[in-house]
Structure 1
Amino acid sequence: HTVKSYAARTFDYPYPVAISVEASNGMEYPMICFNYGRPDEDGTYSDAIKYGMISVIIHEVGHNFFPMIVNSDERQWSWMDEGLNTFLQYLAEQEWDRDYPSRRGPAHKIAPYMASERHLLEPIMTNSENIIQFGPNAYAKPATALNILRETIMGRELFDYAFKEYSLRWMFKHPTPEDFFRTMEDASGVDLDWFWRGWFFGTDPVDISLEEVKWYKLDNRTPAEKKADQKKAADREAYHISMDYNKEDIPQTVVEADPATRDFYNSYNPFTVTPEDEQAYKNFMASLTPKEKELMNSGLNFYEMRFRNVGGLVMPLIIQFNYTDGTSEVERIPAEIWRLNEWEVTKVFAKKKEVASIILDPYRETADIDETNNYWPRQFVPSRFELFKGASGARGVSTGDNPMRRSRSRR
């Protein structure tokens, strides 16, 4: 399965064999690799050992392609074989089983690493001997970056074409990172400088906050409707609790008792529609063009949204609008929206329907490290923690929960 899956995205496998030998760990060589994974003495095994074994076999067999054929320098640029191989491993896992529990690849799974303290992080473009967290840095982050590039930035068809072109151009050669970057851009025709800079040369995380939402509607009210709304707002502003108590405590005010204390303003109603108001409204409506009248009567809702780049890594804006009628809609804004200001942008969206709530990155596809600021109105979820004690077993040993054994014991 691995050979078929990888070959479909790169090139035909050129070697005569691809051997996987059961062992106590995982290690690769041209045409042969050694992989862990075996049942317990009673023949049962946990799902962790099952999927761990499948994953390590895919991964180590996959190394026949990277770096055994596309021969990058692992000591200098570990991600060029481990990261690319982990990315293809993720695709092969998903083709193996519909709900395969891949540990590396989905965007949200890299968020905890990217949220680590800065002194524990290095750019992907770091010599392997200087990396503190080798697994997340050389395997998971580049694999996730490529998955985001495929699913969210470029689209599957364009990415797959460019990646295959890179594999074909550099098979049996010695590519460097710039060869990969340039080939992906050259084959796709897409400028990805901003993406390489953020994901491969930096340590900034993705944390885009939906800071503010303002709701506007075109003012197409008649003078009577406008005055009625003004009165409602004025009454609300003038009200205070003492007014309710004073109805009983003050049976009659001075002005109520003595007509001589009253003047023009005691009977004046500022919210009465005047002939001048009516004429001004008619003159305004007559001045509008047909298109302006159409817009005036469209009933559109305008939502001005302000986004803040808290983390520093620019990404596309994926926005889900949930409407009051129960429907929803997703809009995708390319990362180029940040080109003039990498820290804050404002954009206005015109909607026929009234918006009830807004979610940023609804499918968790950008690796945003703080999802609490992705909602309008804000949604607060309690953090939970567990107290536990335990130790993990050796790699490849079936430890922990084993439902297969429990099922057999009940027979």
Structure 2
Amino acid sequence: MGGDKSRISPIMTNSESIYQFGNNAYGKPATALNILRETIMGRELFDHAFKEYSRRWAFKHPSPADFFRSMEDASAVDLDWFWRGWFYGTDHCDINMKEVKWFQIDTKNPEIEKPFAQQMDEEEPLDISIERDRTDIEQTFIERDPSLNDFYTTRDIYKPTQLDKQEYQDFVAGLEEEELRTLNSKKNFYEITFQRDGGLIMPLIVEFEFEDGSTDVRHIPAEIWKRDEPSVTKVFITNQPAIQITLDPFLETADVDLSDNYWPPKPTPSRFELYKNRNNRGGRENPMQRDQRNQELQSEGGSK
């Protein structure tokens, strides 16, 4: 589906105008119906609708439109977007996670937030000028003359003050019980932007993997693309920080490019052929022919 579109036709194209009968008549329709059963409708609902279609049109001559209508009538599911994309178009599915933002709740507690701010500042990369100054400048003016110190050079911005603690207590006192539980819930918020590079809309299946080995799979229906936008943003809430987020973890949507379906990104190992074997016939053999040649080689070795 992700190949050269010049020789790809919609499934509903007249057979006399199709370049690739195999893909159009068998491969793509089979993939579409499998996705419809496994991912869009679910096996139970699909089987019920398909049985109803078979009952309605037994010993008759249904057209594709009759199949489309029967599946929707029997399931009460609007599948117009699915038929349009899979049967009347040539777009392919290529959805990626364009951007992932991770947020946590600001508790307002200075004994929590100030150490956190210190940790974040310490993890920030240093400017090259500061790095070189540390090497080139043996002693600063303040180190030579401590009397130059003032309020701003001596205060510890990461140390909670009594005023900070009092303001936090006043803030908490004004919260209701449910608001306080939410404030202290330690929830994690992931704002994920999904981009549709391939054109075909599909549901979003997102798996969150956590440090304790547990996983959480979220299903977002295809209606999230109802405005036909090239990208959409969705916020997910988890109880634990995620160590890995995967889009389409079970290969349910026929996504043609899986390399951009991970956060953090995963490297994709690959190999290239350094030297070409001129005597290699493997590329021109089918598996049965190659196995036969292997058996002949084994027989020759055993007879010696």
Q: Which bin holds the TM-score, normalised by the shorter protein? A: 0.7 to 0.9
Kindly state the Cα deviation for residue 238 of structure 1 after the two structures are TM-superposed: 9.1
Q: Which amino acid is the alignment partner of residue 122 of structure 1?
A: S
> Which deviates more from structure 2 when the two are superposed, residues 361-370 or residues 253-262?
253-262
Alignment of 1:19-34 (within 5 A): none
Q: Is the 8 A contact 1:314 1:342 kept in 2?
A: no
Query: Is the alpha carbon distance of 1:257 and 1:188 closer, same or farther for their aligned partners in structure 2, counting shifts above 3 Å?
Result: closer
Q: Counterpart in 2 of 1:74? A: none
The 5 Å alignment of 1:44-193 reads: 114-193=1-80
Is the CA contact (8 Å cut-off) linking 2:108 and 2:168 kept in structure 1? no
1:338 to 212, 225, 237: 225
Give 2:183's aligned residue.
296
- Against the structure 1 CA distance between its residues 392 and 317, is the aligned structure 2 distance closer, same or farther, given a 3 Å change threshold? same
| 1:245 match | 135
The residue correspondences of 1:297-376 to structure 2 (distance < 5 A) are 297-376=184-263
Secondary structure class of the residue paired with 2:60: coil
Call closer, same or farther: CA 1:126–1:283 in 2, change over 3 Å.
same
Q: Which runs of 5+ in 2 are unaligned?
A: none
Quick one: percent identity of the two aligned structures? Answer: 51
| 8 Å contact from structure 1 (residues 372, 379) kept in 2 | yes
Query: What code does the residue aligned with 2:291 have?
Result: D
Q: Which one is further off, 325-334 or 118-127?
A: 325-334
The answer to whether the 8 Å contact 2:107/2:113 transfers is no
Deviation at 1:120, TM superposition (A): 1.3
Give per-residue Cα distances to partners, 1:103-154, cap 9 Å, x unaligned.
Answer: xxxxxxxxxxx01111011100100111111101111100110011111111
What is the TM-score normalised by the length of structure 2? 0.85
The normalised TM-score by structure 1 is 0.64
> Secondary structure in 1 aligned to 2:291?
coil
Mean Cα displacement is larger for which, 337-346 or 225-234?
225-234
**Structure 1 position 232, deviation (Å):** 4.3
Structure 1 segments unaligned to the other structure (5+ residues): 1-113
> Considering only aligned residues, what root-mean-square deviation do their CA atoms show, in Å?
2.8
Count the aligned residue pairs: 292
Give the 3-state SS of the residue equivalent to 1:241 in structure 2.
helix
Q: Distance in 2 between matches of 1:341 and 1:360?
A: 20
Counterpart in the other structure of 1:280: 167
Distance (whole Å) between structure 2 residues aligned to residue 238 and residue 359 of structure 1: 28
Q: Which residue of 2 aligns with 1:196?
A: 83
What is the match of residue 43 of structure 1? none
